[in-house]
Amino acid sequence: MNIGTGNPDQKNTSLPILGQPTSRRTALKVAGAALGLAAFGKAISPLMAIPENVSVDEFLQQHYKELSDDDKTAIFARLEKETREDYGADVKISDSRPIPGVKFGYAISLSKCNGNGKCMEACNQENNHHRGVDQSYIRVLEMSKGSLDMDQGNTTYDHTVPQDDKYYMPVQCQQCDNPPCVTVCPVEATWKEDDGIVVVDYNWCIGCRYCEAACPYHARRFNWEQPEIPAEEMNPDQGYLSNRVRPQGTMEKCHFCLHRTREGRLPACLEACPTGARVFGDLNDPDSDINWVLKNKRVFILKEDLGTRPNFFYFFD
Amino acid sequence: MSTTTGKLLEQPPHYVRNYPRFIWWALGESTNGNWLFYLWMFVLTCVALVGANAWAVQVADGMIVTNMTDHVSWGLYIANFTFMVGVAAGGVMMVIPAYLYHDKKMHDVVIVGELLAISAIVMCLLFVVADLGRPERFWHMIPGIGRFNWPMSMLTWDVIVLNGYLLLNLHVCGYLMYMRFLGQQPNPRWYVPFVMISIFWAISIHTVTAFLYCGLGGRPFWNTALLAPRFLVSAFVAGPAFILILLAILKRLPGQTIDAGPSRLLINIIRVTILTNLLMIVSEVFTEFYSGGAHTASTMYLFLGLHGFDALVPWIWTAIAFNVIAAAIFLSPRIFRSTPLLIVACLLAFVGSWIEKGMGLIVPGFIPSTLHEIVEYLPSLTEWKVSAGIWALGLMVLTVLLKMARTVFNDAVAETPVP
Amino acid sequence: MSNSATARSTLLLVVTATAMVAAWLIIRPVLADRNESNATDVTLTSTSTTTGNTTANPKYQVTVRKPTTGPRISTGLQDVNGNVATVACGTCHSNRAPNIKTKTVADLKHFHRSLQLSHGSISCLSCHNSSDYDALKLADGTRVEFTEVMTLCAQCHGPQMRDYEHGTHGGMSGYWDLSRGPQAKNNCVDCHNPHAPQFPKMKPTFKPQDRFLKKATTHPASLRTNGL
């Protein structure tokens, strides 16, 4: 189809195509090709939205691990500006790094959790989730007593909780030591940091969703569209690798609120839990609450047989 | 036309300088044809344009225009991708008898299989790009300037083997056609090793594609060692079936002499692979249902429906019915005598394995989800449009490639009005 | 012929070698990962050698929220501003003799009859101090202020108190790392009504709507297990 569209070789008489007896046919072909090209240009014209939404700086931005401090300053400033333009909210993007020697662990008491879902709500607000679908990194399963089979579970219950014959199991990213999502990523857009948190560089992810297929805990979420967040609900305390507004077409996941926890604060879902079912802390500190749970409670991890080695624990009192 | 070709041959120019020119010339020749050819290409162009437009909208508005969800995060695109990898690998079934067993009759049509492989790989790459949320960040995968997570990510292996297979086949086809064009005997040193590699490579593209899925421990439906062999076997049904249809079409074109030998061989290949494929499906189904347990949920959903959800049940039983009927026809001796019967059998086998490997394999891997939630999936109109567009583009590529080959292989071709 | 045979054997060699190199490349990171994980396991179990950074020198305190005063009872009257007039327990009880026979709400004739009492088999005076109703008492009779209610609860609820002390019972907020900031914890009666301490039933108010889950709703597994 692309014959005769401005090729430099056209004038060369040794080219048999020009030696054809019927120049009418060639002219028709050229016309057809031109028409085809024009139609193609029209067909893909919605792509013109890309240069509007993706600046050259963003397009050429390097992987997080290769950014210098100056790069980061410039990028964070650009992202803050974009958030102001697109959402009308003034935010501050920071880059909290792992605390040396700290490895985070999280535990939930299934005896206490009553499935009220405040953790999901807190996650939604803290992490600037898409309000249109009330997105959250947490799902709470209502499980049948006497079974750990998730096939007996249900996330969409909306009755008074807790029900007598049920128990409730929140599931979020397990921050595995052997994370399948990190292994499968073709571009290293997701990786495990020194404190055990698996993060995503939202500006490097190509959106192939292989990690979402690989994760056994339904911990990953894809931005099917640009998230909607009202300016007054925007959490201005943002981390580059955590709760900043994520771009359309990229993957995101629970990051243990690293913009809080790496500053020593508790995660938002823990503070929001009305039943006190959640325990968070440093696995490397022998006196931490989380280590007390591991030593003194009957602890289990989800899908242990898969060898993912989670840093997220469940226990019964 | 033959005079100009002769002129070129009288003054053999420098190899490198003129190989691109040869390609250019052959491309030009391939645009000649009768009204049927132009109609065919026009229709394909229209479908491809509709697909391009749908894809552009998807990139601009986000993947929200597809029916994929966080639960079923891969759909029609990856299903088609998986199937087309199989077709590409299946093309090599022409090569094995021709070169490993020195079947001279096959040499003439072996190029058909390789051209099919090229078009199929082009489609595979397009389907992967269509599935990306941020296609403009494609460069992140390029080694050197991006970050290529090789060898850990199976997707990077797939990128390597698919592009490698594309290059291998481009080289072999291009070289053979160019030598034929120059009227020279091809030097085995320049193509036989590549043909041999491409045989192993064909196996590898589909094995790696199977590893993409069966390496995921969190998806019991895919996490089976039988997946790669099953992929290969069904590829060796779909690939030869498509080639048989192609040969039947080519045979009807004037000025074409195609020996019956290759067709016989391909039918015999399908006779084995289609039964093996059915056997493998049966053993998968047996293993799942006889032992039971939570592992069985996806298989249950696919074949019988689960907790009242059964969107895929009609699909898989259609596929099974098609495969069984095709197998029965292929086993009948009448398949060698009746071309219409052969075409019907090939179409049934082709569509059957498309459903089985696409909607019947990719989608149920996500249902129920890893938290055992059931969210069903049927492709959106956008997904159908984009997929149809890529199919149309693939058929255009195949048509052009076949016409290029015909131009080169039939010297007299320019005198006869051919489609 | 021998030419192509050589080509074939060379090819076989190349393919095998490539496969071996590839296999090694895959296995190597896995092995490295395994060694690494063993190392972390060791640091986990060998306690004192590692940092111990946070709790060793806590700069900040864990503060337990306390009830500010004792409970107040509504008189059913309103003051000049229209506010409900409340009184401390001692207002009435300082001039009334305690009735030690009163065990449950049903035994009450005039006041407190709307109280929900569902706390095991204990009676009013198990916790309320009959000699001073503006305070509580332990089982041995020791007076305890309302603000120190946790001491009272802990007499019976030892395991809960132990868990509480290790951050595994009761909500908290603030900092996990006390070298960086303070932590605030609830006390027992923040979450538990002392007269009916079972945690109240709640209604979930927030449900993430996964893209097509609206239509799909739940699957009826829960119905099935209920025998429907």
* Rounded (to 5) percent helix, strand, coil in chain A: 35, 15, 50
Mean pLDDT of B4-11: 46
Contact at CB, C25 and B151, closer than 8 angstroms: yes
State the pairing for strand pair A166-171/A139-144. Answer: antiparallel
Q: Which of C53, C207, C210 sits opposite A285 (nearest CB)?
A: C53
Contact at CB, A265 and C176, closer than 8 angstroms: yes
Contact at CB, B188 and C3, closer than 8 angstroms: yes
Q: Return the pLDDT at C202.
A: 95
- Cβ count near B139 (within 10 Å): 12
CB proximity A124 to C under 8 Å: yes
Mean pLDDT of B325-341: 95
Mean pLDDT of B65-84: 96
Chain A residues whose CB is inside 8 A of the C33 CB are 178
Q: Would you state the structure tokens that stand for residue B66, as one six-digit string?
A: 């597809």
For the segment B352-408, what is each residue's pLDDT rounded down to a tens digit?
Answer: 999 999 899 999 999 999 999 999 999 999 999 999 999 999 999 999 999 998 888
Cα–Cα dist B195/B123, whole Å: 22
Nearest residue of A to residue C26, measured between CA atoms: A183
How high is the ipTM of this complex? Answer: 0.90
Cα–Cα dist B266/B260, whole Å: 10
Higher pLDDT among residues C107 and B222, named by residue: B222
CATH of the domain at B371: 1.20.1630.10
Which C-chain residues 155-174 have CB contacts (< 8 A) with chain A? 159, 163, 166-174
Partner chains of A (3+ C-beta pairs under 8 Å): B, C
Q: Return the pLDDT at C4.
A: 58
Contact at CB, A155 and C218, closer than 8 angstroms: yes
Cis preceding-peptide flag for B368 (omega within 30 of 0): yes
Is residue B261 very low, low, confident or very high in pLDDT (cuts 50, 70, 90)?
Answer: confident
pLDDT greater than 90 at residue A135: yes
Q: Work out the burial of residue A271: count CB atoms within 10 Å of its CB; fewer than 13 is exposed, 13-18 middle, 19 or more buried.
A: buried
C-alpha distance across the termini of chain C, in Å: 75
| Average pLDDT, rounded, for chain B | 88
CB proximity C71 to A under 8 Å: no
Contact at CB, C213 and B375, closer than 8 angstroms: yes
Which region among B59-63, B256-260, C198-202 has the lowest average model confidence (pLDDT)?
A: B256-260
Is residue B99 very low, low, confident or very high in pLDDT (cuts 50, 70, 90)?
Answer: confident
Contact at CB, B193 and C213, closer than 8 angstroms: no
Q: Return the pLDDT at C9.
A: 66
CB proximity C204 to A under 8 Å: yes
Q: Return the pLDDT at B8.
A: 47
- The residue ranges of chain C whose pLDDT is under 50 are 1, 34-55, 214-228
Chain B residues whose CB is inside 8 A of the C15 CB are 197, 200
Chain B residues whose CB is inside 8 A of the C217 CB are none
Chain C residues whose CB is inside 8 A of the B71 CB are 210, 213
Q: Which of A151, A211, A250, A305 to mutate against chain B (most B CBs within 10 Å)?
A: A151
Phi, psi of A93 (to 5 degrees): -100, 125
Nearest residue of A to residue C45, measured between CA atoms: A286
Cα–Cα dist C134/C71, whole Å: 8
- Across A196-207, b (16+ Cβ under 10 Å) vs e yields bbbbbbbbbbbb
Partner chains of C (3+ C-beta pairs under 8 Å): A, B
Chain A residues whose CB is inside 8 A of the C169 CB are 112, 276
Cα–Cα dist A64/B139, whole Å: 15
Q: Return the pLDDT at B98.
A: 79
pLDDT greater than 90 at residue B59: yes
Contact at CB, B156 and A149, closer than 8 angstroms: no
Element (H, E) at A108: strand A104-109
For the segment B20-51, what is each residue's pLDDT rounded down to a tens digit?
Answer: 888 888 888 888 888 999 999 999 999 999 99
Domain count of the fold of chain C = 1
Q: Would you state the structure tokens that stand for residue A86, as one six-digit string?
A: 């697109």
Give one DSSP letter per residue of B350-418, joined into a string. Answer: HHHHHHHHTTTTTGGGGSS-TT---------HHHHHHHHHHHHHHHHHHHHHHHHHHHHH-GGGGTS--
- Cβ count near B415 (within 10 Å): 11
Domain extent at residue B325: 2-414
Contact A306, A216 (CB under 8 A): yes
Q: Return the pLDDT at B139.
A: 95
Cα–Cα dist C225/C24, whole Å: 49
Mean pLDDT of A22-28: 79
Residue C112: partners with Cβ closer than 8 Å, 6 or more residues away: C73, C105
Q: Return the pLDDT at C31.
A: 55
CB proximity A188 to B under 8 Å: yes
Residue B419 falls inside a structural domain: no
Contact at CB, C54 and A271, closer than 8 angstroms: no
Contact B275, B283 (CB under 8 A): no
Contact at CB, A249 and B31, closer than 8 angstroms: no
Q: Return the pLDDT at A12.
A: 41
CB-side neighbour CA atoms (13 Å) of C76: 3
Domain extent at residue C135: 62-68+97-191
Chain A residues whose CB is inside 8 A of the B8 CB are 14, 16
CB proximity A266 to C under 8 Å: yes
Give one DSSP letter per residue of C154-221, joined into a string. Answer: HHH-HHHHHHHHTTSSS-EEEBS-TTT--EEE--HHHHSBTTB-SPPPB--------TTHHHH---TH
CA dihedral C143→C145→C150→C156, nearest 10 degrees, is: 20
CA of A282 to nearest chain B CA: how many angstroms apart? 27
Residue C126 falls inside a structural domain: yes
Residue C176 falls inside a structural domain: yes
| Domain ranges, ordered by start, for chain A | 1-9+23-43, 104-316
Q: Which of C43, C45, C177, C187 to mutate against chain A (most A CBs within 10 Å)?
A: C177
Q: Return the pLDDT at A9.
A: 40
Q: Which of B137, B138, B160, B295 to mutate against chain A (most A CBs within 10 Å)?
A: B137
Chain centroid offset of residue A135 CA: 11
Which region among B190-194, B258-262, C59-63 has the lowest average model confidence (pLDDT)?
A: B258-262
Cα–Cα dist C50/C150, whole Å: 34
Higher pLDDT among residues A281 and C37, named by residue: A281
Which residue has 């020996």 as its token pair?
B259
Nearest residue of B to residue A55, measured between CA atoms: B136
Domain count of the fold of chain B = 1
Mean pLDDT of B168-172: 93
Of residues A198, A193, A196, A244, the one with CA closest to residue A223: A244
Q: Which of C166, C180, C183 sits opposite A292 (nearest CB)?
A: C166
Contact at CB, A218 and B154, closer than 8 angstroms: no
Contact at CB, C219 and B308, closer than 8 angstroms: yes
pLDDT greater than 60 at residue B13: no
Contact B30, B400 (CB under 8 A): yes
CA of C115 to nearest chain A CA: how many angstroms apart? 23
Q: Would you state the structure tokens that stand for residue A296, as one six-digit string?
A: 């003194």
pLDDT greater than 80 at residue B108: no
Which numeric CATH code is attached to A104-316? 3.30.70.20
Nearest residue of B to residue C7, measured between CA atoms: B193
Mean pLDDT of B249-277: 84
Is residue A63 very low, low, confident or very high in pLDDT (cuts 50, 70, 90)?
Answer: very high
For the segment B110-159, what is each residue's pLDDT rounded down to a tens digit?
Answer: 888 899 999 999 999 999 999 999 999 999 999 989 999 999 999 999 99
